[in-house]
Chains A and B, each alone.
Chain A
Amino acid sequence: MTTEADISDGQGRGETLPVFRAVDLRKIYEVGETQVHALRGVDLEIGRGEVLVLLGPSGSGKSTLLNIVGALDRPTSGQLWHEDTELTGLSDRALTRFRRAHVGFIFQFYNLIPSLTAEENVRLVTDIADDPLPAEEALEMVGLGHRRGHFPAQLSGGEQQRVAVARAIAKRPRVLFCDEPTGALDSSTGIKVLETLAKANEEFGATLIIITHNAGIAAMADRVFNFLDGRIASIDVNSERRPPSEISW
């Protein structure tokens, strides 16, 4: 493991064109009279099929960055490209189209729709995607094919999160954004979830961007961004990715 501050040549696994490229992203939240500087100038490049882990203390701006790169939010200043499209220049409609076509999200608290069954939660996404996996198949991939008729309230936390993963991968996304996907899970369920994420990375070549508190998870990444106070303080490059099953929790 080497530690480098130079990010300009961080090209992941040797892909030529980066999937995402950002220059000087800043985000300022206005809270009443005061301003919260959540991002204080972030530059990055993310390669195709790369597995990226964002580490850092709570409040250091990880989620803010993820939301911006995932086109859920806009930066206060700076530029962001997806391939050769400048996302920061797009309308809300175009951003929605972008998310619809290419992006999957997984959140700490699963965020399943309580009134829909596991399968229907997945169909929520397959209904609007171009070339989705069948909902059933996506659930099989996360090992929940037999629970597809169950409502979220009838599933454990880990199972709910796996449904969320199935939902995220069902559209065969190019990028999967995961904000503390295992934050609410114990180690063995957490590993199961991470395994399904790794599988999506291998099978569809989806780029994985994972926020976590858990330094052990960094082992499955190509690169690790260490956040501090709204900036990427340092980047660790792993010479080798470990499968989730070998992660020490």
Chain B
Amino acid sequence: MKAIDLKLLRDLWRMRGQALAIAAVIAAAAATFILSVGVHESLSETREIYYERNHFAEVFAGMTRAPRTVVERVEDIEGVRQAEGRIIQFVTLEMEGRVEPIRGVINSVEDGGASDLNQMILTEGRGPGLEEAGEVVVDRSFAEANDLHPGDEIDALIYGTRQTLEIVGIGLSPDYIWAIAPGDLIPDESRYGIFWMGRRALEAATDRTEAINSLSLTLDHGASEAEVIRQLDIILAPYGSTGAYGREDHLSHAFLDNELMQLDAMTRIIPPVFLLVSTFLVYIVLGRMIRTEREQIGLLKAFGYTSRAIAWHYLKFAFAIAALGIVLGAIVGIWMGRNMTELYAEYYRFPFLVYQLSPETFASAAALALASAGLGAIGGVRTAIELTPAIAMAPPPPAVYRAGTVERLSNLAGFTSIGHMIVRHISRWPGRSSMTVVGVSLSLGLLFSTMSFIDSSSSMLETNFFRAQRQDVSVTFIEPRNEDVLYDLGRIPGVLRVEATRAASARLRHGPLSERVAIESADDEGTLWARIDSAEQEVPLPPAGLMLSRRLADKLGARTGDRIEVSMLEGRRSVSVVPIAATIDELVGSRAYASSATLAQLTRDRAPVGSALLRIDTNQRDAILAELQEMPIVLGVTERNAALVKFEEMIDDNIITMIGFYVAFASAIAIGVVYNSARIVFSERARELATLRVLGYHESEVALVLLGELALLIAIAVPIGCFAGYWLAQLMTAMFSSDLFRLPFAPTRATYGFSILVILAASALTAMIVARRVMRLDMVRVLKARD
């Protein structure tokens, strides 16, 4: 090995603490990158393959009932490659020992579970027979959550008729990667199952012989989806179509997209913060190293080493640290990626989902790490290149201390001579001091913003969902009913209050833009359902006209006062022009609202009740739920509390791990920054500190010079970190927002407190470790050594 490379290795070993601290920050960058990009890749590639192999459709439409022959007409639309009609039927399930509402959705399939599109995969057992009444395949998640196996039986209420379902197989399909029961807030695989039943059997059970209520289709390459949807809507209009839509409005697809978008946002925010800090660290550490090695550099140059060879020597130092960081980061990243993917495999129903790190992703992570370390090295390396061999031979001029503003301040504060030493040293090295401040602030900011993310999620669910929905139970009906149903529900013992709500599908048009939505309405005097805007204010329904969520209005390019065309997709399918009476800035979804009177005018039918909201006496919950499920008109029953419990469970399961990661990663920055600054301050001041000892200062007093400087810098970093965190958190909530929902920005004081405590603790511990060296300072050796 070349002697100069031996020097490199020995330097690395001598500075192993500092090198490791920087490597940890780079590792955090690489790990988070490999985690988010790797999971993103695994998820999107797995989804792509799954879609491809199982022929996931591109356009979907639901309708009340259409003859099966409509499929052929649809296939004739230009641009349609393949179309398939199905029956999709929501059912209520009854399982032994379970009082809470359990729901399911049954999809019709051909003999043995076959279909052209959205093909089901059997993981166990066999497919259902075409005509075998009651034979079903059940989705794997539901089966696992409820310990169901082929051969087991469940009672179901299908279309008002009780029927026993016999499980013959277990499977899954690409149109239900993510699934949620209608009206539910949180997916709950133990309370909502996906089923597949033979077509004839389901036709018989739902009284839809040779009829369908759902269409899926794939398109030719280059076909216009919008045009196909337009023609499809025309063909399906007479059959009670609720409007065709593409993949981006398909619930399962959209949710996965949302997840992918969030992973992408994470990739764009978190690794850069770590990379930035690692650049800082390399900059200050290598800068210091090159300053102390001026003479060695001069010597090497005098002996004929080229500037390039010397530049490469120090770059290698930076790259070696980066390489260590990459290796550590890859190990941690892959491990976390596997865990996260396993978590995803629980929430998303994939036949297989494994974390796979592609060579490209690894290479990008490595390139980013090397680049940021290299960038940090440039400053120092340039100094090394610029040193002329002659100047390098002369010892560096003594540091110039000036009586600046900072010092005048310290005079005012009446500092002791140690205080002066501290303040002067900080103002002597303003660049490095500010980088220490920036680094610690960033670690605080990062911790705060990731932690406040948890605040945002719980705020969104708890405040916005649970404040908006005040019922205990909501009941959906097979089809809209008239008001009589409310009296029937009100007569059930224990039901304290009943309110009607309705959601009717419509297509809104404004100029060339159009959107398919459900117009929602409620009792004028209703108290169980509220619309909460992003400022957490309750917004009443407009007496006339529509109220659109801001997002929907934006999509339509419309504003309050504009008139839009409303084509109802149910009831009498009226088309009318309605003014936008108001807009509401909401966090979730693109929604439209109207008063019940307005909606009744639009639908022109006498069935204003789509579902009912109930307040109940919780002591009588079981009896009420049982009675509701006996009612043939009831399609589904949702308990609000169950969602809350499920959500809390979900948070509890992961929160400790999540906080652990956040704390570990943010602390990596704080430790890396504080350790390196402390070591540099210590080496710069070793001589002064030894002199102080010679003069008779106690070890602890001398340590104070070092600790005092760090304490002052960290104290400055805390408020800056809070601002940085506030800003980063806002950026993150903005970047995590999608078509489906927007996260509220709801940081709590506790989060500030917790983040500050963690960073202070990490910084203090690190500083103490270095301070112990000060205590053991060998006076004689330090004073003799030429720096």
Contacts and interface: CB of A to CB of B under 8 A. Distances in A.
Q: Which of B10, B11, B303 has the most CB of A within 10 A?
A: B303
A100 B390 contact: no
Contacts of A115: 6-7, 10-11, 14
Given A72-B389, A73-B390, A111-B295, A120 B3 contact: yes
A113 interface: yes
Contacts of A73: 388-391
B393 interface: yes
B296 interface: yes
Contacts of B389: 67, 72-73, 99
A208 B306 CA distance: 24
Interface stretch (A9-17, A45-53, A80-88, A102-110): A102-110
Contacts of B786: 109
Q: Which of A107, A115, A179 has the most CB of B within 10 A?
A: A115
B307 interface: yes
Interface stretch (A124-132, A187-195, A232-240): A124-132
B310 to A, nearest CB: 10
Interface stretch (A89-97, A139-147, A221-229): A89-97
Interface string B274-318: 000000000000000000000110111111111101000000000
A212 B388 CA distance: 23
Contacts of A158: none
Interface in A53-81: 67, 70, 72-73
Nearest to A92: B307
Given A111-B296, A115-B7, A115-B10, A124 B303 contact: yes
A44 interface: no
A72 B303 contact: no
B390 A113 contact: no
A101 B390 contact: no
Interface in B1-55: 2-4, 6-7, 10-11, 14
Contacts of B393: 67, 72, 107, 111, 179
A99 B298 CA distance: 12
B302 A105 contact: yes
Q: Which of A72, A101, A179 has the most CB of B within 10 A?
A: A72
B7 A125 contact: no
Contacts of B391: 73
A100 B301 CA distance: 9
Contacts of B388: 72-73
Contacts of A109: 295, 786
Q: Which of A96, A100, A171 has the most CB of B within 10 A?
A: A96
Contacts of A113: 7, 296, 299
Q: Which of A99, A101, A104, A121 has the most CB of B within 10 A?
A: A99
A67 B390 contact: yes
A116 interface: yes
A123 interface: yes
A247 B719 CA distance: 69
Nearest to B12: A115
B304 A103 contact: yes
Nearest to A68: B390
Contact of A127 (B4, B295, B306, B307): B4
Contact of A116 (B7, B295, B304, B390): B7
A203 B723 CA distance: 71
A67 B298 CA distance: 11
A101 B304 contact: yes
Q: Which of B296, B299, B305, B388 has the most CB of A within 10 A?
A: B299
Contact of B306 (A70, A93, A107, A129): A93
Contacts of A92: 307
B306 A116 contact: no
Contacts of B3: 116, 120-124, 127
A120 B299 contact: no
Given A107-B393, A109-B786, A111-B299, A128 B305 contact: yes
A99 B303 contact: yes
Interface in B53-100: none
Nearest to A135: B3
Contacts of A98: 304
A193 to B, nearest CB: 17
A176 to B, nearest CB: 12
A96 B7 contact: no
B225 to A, nearest CB: 63
Q: Which of B11, B305, B307, B390 has the most CB of A within 10 A?
A: B390
B582 to A, nearest CB: 71
A73 B404 CA distance: 35
A236 B2 CA distance: 44
Contacts of B305: 96, 100, 128
Given A115-B14, A121-B3, A97 B300 contact: no
Given A96-B307, A107-B393, A120 B6 contact: yes
Given A73-B390, A111-B299, A128 B304 contact: yes
B390 A96 contact: no
Contacts of B302: 70, 72, 99, 103, 105
A78 B94 CA distance: 104
Q: Which of B2, B10, B306, B389 has the most CB of A within 10 A?
A: B389
Contacts of A72: 298, 301-302, 388-390, 393
A100 B303 contact: yes
A116 B299 contact: no
Nearest to B300: A124
A127 B6 CA distance: 12
Contacts of B4: 124, 127
Contacts of A93: 306
Interface in B369-401: 388-391, 393
A112 to B, nearest CB: 8
A107 B786 CA distance: 14
B300 to A, nearest CB: 7
A100 B310 CA distance: 14
A96 B306 contact: yes
Contacts of B14: 115
B300 A116 contact: no
The 4 closest A-B pairs by CB, nearest first: A100-B304, A73-B390, A115-B10, A123-B3
22 contacts: A67-B390, A72-B301, A73-B388, A73-B390, A73-B391, A92-B307, A93-B306, A96-B305, A99-B303, A99-B304, A103-B302, A103-B304, A105-B303, A109-B786, A111-B295, A111-B299, A111-B393, A120-B6, A120-B7, A122-B3, A123-B3, A127-B3
Given A67-B389, A109-B786, 18 more contacts: A72-B302, A72-B389, A96-B301, A96-B305, A100-B303, A101-B304, A103-B304, A113-B296, A113-B299, A115-B6, A115-B7, A120-B6, A121-B3, A122-B3, A124-B7, A125-B303, A167-B303, A179-B393
